[in-house]
C-alpha cells in the first residue's frame, strides 16, 4: 500500500514538473491557433452567412454591386463591349448591380451551383433606363428590346442575363450564344443535344428554386419573383 502511494506521489511530481514547460507550449500553441482562426474569420467574411449579415443593414431596394459582396461570380458584361446583338457599346464601363433583394437570391443560387461545380456568369444585370433608351434607339423593336417607356425588369434591378461556367472558367454549352434570337434559344425547344438540355435544366431549376422565373424565348434571362413591382430606375454607376 505504501509502495502504491509513493508511486502516485512520484507520478504527481513528474506531472507537475512537466506542467510548466508543457503548459507554456500549449498557451503558445493556443495563441498561434487563435491568430489562424482570426485569419479564417476574416476570410469567412466572404461566405454567404456573413454577407447576409451585411445585407441585413440594407433595404431590399438598395442597389448594390455584386462584386462587393462575393468573389464567387464571373462576369462578361457584353453591353460594355461591341460583342452583342446591337453591335454597339452602350455601357461606359462593365459593372453588375442589382437591388439587394435580387443580390441575396443570386448569392444563394450561386452557393447551390457550386455544389455542382459551376458558378453564375453574368452578361447583364441592372440596366439604367437611359441605357434602355439608347438600346431602343438602335433597335426600336419590342421583339428584341423592351420599350423604355414601359421599362424592362432589368431597369428595375430585378433581372439578370446569365450562363454557367465551371469553377475553372469554362463556359457550359447552352446551345446558343447570349442574345441569340431564334427557336434554338427557347426553353421549350427540346431538339438539342442532351448536354445542352442538361445544362439549361440545371440553370433553370436552380434559379427557380431561388425565386427566379424565366422567359420562354431566352434561356439566359431570369427575373426575380415580384421584381415587376419595383420602380424603373435610372441610377448610374461610377466609372472612375
Ligand atoms: Zn435579359
Q: Based on the domain organization, do 3 and 112 belong to the same domain?
A: no
Q: Based on the domain organization, do 11 and 116 belong to the same domain?
A: no
If you measure from the C-alpha of residue 178 to the centroid of ligand 1, how many angstroms do you get, rounded to a whole number? Answer: 10
Q: Based on the domain organization, do 112 and 192 belong to the same domain?
A: yes
Q: Based on the domain organization, do 84 and 153 belong to the same domain?
A: yes
Q: Based on the domain organization, do 40 and 103 belong to the same domain?
A: yes
If you measure from the C-alpha of residue 58 to the centroid of ligand 1, how many angstroms do you get, rounded to a whole number? Answer: 25
Q: What ranges in the chain are assigned the alpha helix state H?
A: 2-44, 48-55, 100-115, 129-138, 194-209
In a domain, 48, yes or no: yes
Q: What is the residue whose three cell numbers read 452557393?
A: 111
The answer to whether 50 touches 44, Cβ cutoff 8 Å, is: yes
If you measure from the C-alpha of residue 194 to the centroid of ligand 1, how many angstroms do you get, rounded to a whole number? Answer: 25
Q: For position 50, what pLDDT does the model report?
A: 55
Q: For position 240, what pLDDT does the model report?
A: 84
Q: For position 5, what pLDDT does the model report?
A: 52
Task: Give the residue-averaged pLDDT of 91-116.
Answer: 96
Q: Based on the domain organization, do 214 and 98 belong to the same domain?
A: yes
Q: Based on the domain organization, do 14 and 97 belong to the same domain?
A: no
Q: Which domain holds residue 58?
A: 35-229
Question: 118-124 and 159-166: which strand pairing?
Answer: antiparallel
In a domain, 235, yes or no: no
Q: For position 170, what pLDDT does the model report?
A: 98
If you measure from the C-alpha of residue 20 to the centroid of ligand 1, how many angstroms do you get, rounded to a whole number? Answer: 67
* 46 CB-near residues (< 8 Å, 6+ apart): 70, 71, 72
∠ at Cα 201 (122, 197), nearest 5°? Answer: 100
Q: Which residues surround ligand 1, an ion (CB under 5 A)?
A: 161, 221
In a domain, 44, yes or no: yes
Overall number of domains in the chain:
2
Q: Based on the domain organization, do 23 and 114 belong to the same domain?
A: no
Q: Based on the domain organization, do 98 and 164 belong to the same domain?
A: yes
Q: Based on the domain organization, do 71 and 100 belong to the same domain?
A: yes
Q: Based on the domain organization, do 89 and 1 belong to the same domain?
A: no
In a domain, 78, yes or no: yes
In a domain, 237, yes or no: no
In a domain, 236, yes or no: no
If you measure from the C-alpha of residue 218 to the centroid of ligand 1, how many angstroms do you get, rounded to a whole number? Answer: 8
The 10s digit of each residue's pLDDT in 185-217 is 999 999 999 999 999 999 999 999 999 999 999
Q: How many angstroms separate the CA atoms of 68 and 65, rounded?
A: 6
Q: How many angstroms separate the CA atoms of 209 and 155, rounded?
A: 23
The 10s digit of each residue's pLDDT in 30-78 is 333 333 232 222 233 444 555 556 787 889 999 999 998 999 999 999 9
Q: Based on the domain organization, do 122 and 22 belong to the same domain?
A: no
Amino acid at each position: 500500500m505504501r509502495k502504491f502511494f509513493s508511486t502516485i506521489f512520484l507520478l504527481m511530481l513528474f506531472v507537475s514538473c512537466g506542467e510548466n514547460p508543457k503548459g507554456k507550449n500549449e498557451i503558445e500553441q493556443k495563441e498561434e491557433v487563435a491568430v489562424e482562426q482570426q485569419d479564417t474569420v476574416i476570410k469567412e467574411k466572404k461566405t454567404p452567412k456573413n454577407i447576409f449579415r451585411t445585407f441585413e443593414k440594407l433595404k431590399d431596394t438598395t442597389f448594390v454591386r455584386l462584386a462587393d459582396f462575393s468573389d464567387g461570380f464571373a462576369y462578361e458584361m457584353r453591353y460594355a463591349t461591341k460583342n452583342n446583338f446591337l453591335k454597339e457599346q452602350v455601357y461606359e464601363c462593365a459593372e453588375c448591380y442589382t437591388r439587394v433583394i435580387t443580390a441575396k437570391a443570386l448569392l444563394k443560387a450561386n452557393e447551390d451551383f457550386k455544389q455542382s461545380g459551376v458558378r453564375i456568369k453574368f452578361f447583364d444585370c441592372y440596366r439604367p433606363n437611359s441605357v434602355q433608351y439608347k438600346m431602343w434607339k438602335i433597335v426600336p423593336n419590342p421583339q428584341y428590346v423592351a420599350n423604355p417607356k414601359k421599362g424592362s425588369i432589368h431597369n428595375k434591378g430585378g433581372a439578370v442575363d446569365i450562363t454557367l461556367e465551371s469553377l475553372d472558367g469554362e463556359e457550359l454549352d447552352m446551345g446558343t450564344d447570349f442574345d441569340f434570337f431564334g427557336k434554338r434559344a427557347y426553353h421549350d425547344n427540346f431538339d438539342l443535344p442532351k448536354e445542352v438540355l442538361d445544362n439549361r435544366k440545371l440553370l433553370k431549376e436552380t434559379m427557380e428554386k431561388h425565386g427566379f422565373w424565366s422567359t420562354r424565348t431566352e434561356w439566359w434571362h431570369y427575373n426575380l419573383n415580384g421584381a415587376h413591382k419595383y420602380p424603373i430606375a435610372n441610377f448610374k454607376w461610377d466609372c472612375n
